[in-house]
Amino acid sequence: MTEAVLRDMRWWDLDGVLALEHDLFPEDAWSRGMFWSELADTGHPAASRTYLVAEDGAGRLVGYAGLAAIAGTGDVQTIAAARDHWGTGLGARLLTELLRAATAAECHEVLLEVRVDNPRAQRLYERFGFAAIGVRKGYYQPGNVDALVMRLADPALNTVEEIHG
């Protein structure tokens, strides 16, 4: 399997992103409008957004990730890798790029929510230094699944190169 190429997400990627989103998160998938809103970046003027996609050698979209950054805090909005790319390091590569974006945006911390029933994702975040700081009851709807809130202090110190280097 050739390594996926990461690039900025564009509006024409949304069909592939939504296909992955519905496959991986069938109960609480984001809508096209939610992704459009993130790509449009019509929020706070001091906010920045970074959205990436990963394509395999055949041009198939196999992953995506997004980060919003404002006032020194980054928030991982979404991150996903196609099932046939689990265990390949793609999730770590996507997260590394989000942390680089957070560092470039001068974030002193990065937050995220992850389903309490997703230990695989939790392990990835823990490898990068994220620590649990709370639970949001019923955060994921309509399944009423709790979210574990995780925080990473100083994202500049926590890229995959430093962890595994």
Q: Each residue of 81-116: pLDDT tens digit?
A: 999 999 999 999 999 999 999 999 999 999 999 999
- Alpha carbon 151 to chain centroid, angstroms: 14
Domains and CATH numbers, the chain: 5-164 (3.40.630.30)
Express each pLDDT in 122-159 by its tens digit: 999 999 999 999 999 999 988 899 999 999 998 877 65
Planar angle of CA 146, 151, 156, nearest 5 degrees: 150
Give the three-state DSSP class for 26: coil
Say whether pTM exceeds 0.85.
yes
Sorted by sequence, the CB contacts under 8 Å of residue 164 that are 6+ apart come out as: none
